[in-house]
Structures are given as structure tokens and as C-alpha cells.
Amino acid sequence: RKLGDYLIEWTGGPALYTPERGHPRMRMRHEPFVITETDAATWLACMAKALDRQNVKGEVRSFLDDRIHALAFHLVNAASDDSQVRS
């Protein structure tokens, strides 16, 4: 539900995430985890598969693909995946 609320608000829908949980602070929330470009690409592939399964196409798909791509690579914080959790 958290991801759904965030994505709805993040793509211009009603504010469902912020009133309940505050500003998302995505980089801060993901900072404890090592996130590489490979991780971002893997997550993007999963999201693409989910959008394919929901038959999302056309302008909506292009919009979501662009936004999700930007978010995934915004969260990259490591050059290699030596560890899954930072100490």
C-alpha cells in the first residue's frame, strides 16, 4: 500500500502518502541499502513487467517509464554491490 500511495501522489494524483507518512525522502530512506546501477536496472525490469501485465500502454506508459527510470537512478548510491546493507 505504501508504494501504491506514493506512486499515486508522485504521478500527480491525490496526496495519499504525504499526509499519512510525511515527505517521502526517498534517498534518505534508501541510504542504508547499497543500490547500484545494476540494482536500479533490475528494479526497472520488474516494474516494466508489472506494467506489461497490467497492459499499460501509450502516453501513460511513456510517462510512467520516464518517471520510474529517473527515480531508480536517483537512488543509486554505490558503484558496486559489495554488501546489501550499510553498517
Nearest residue to 11 (alpha-carbon basis) of 73, 67, 71, 72: 67
Report domain extents, the chain: 25-87
CATH class, domain 25-87, is mainly alpha
pTM listed for this prediction = 0.76
Task: Read off the pLDDT band of 7 (50, 70, 90).
Answer: confident
Q: For residue range 30-78, what is the model confidence (pLDDT) as tens digits?
A: 999 999 999 999 999 999 999 999 999 999 999 999 999 999 999 999 9
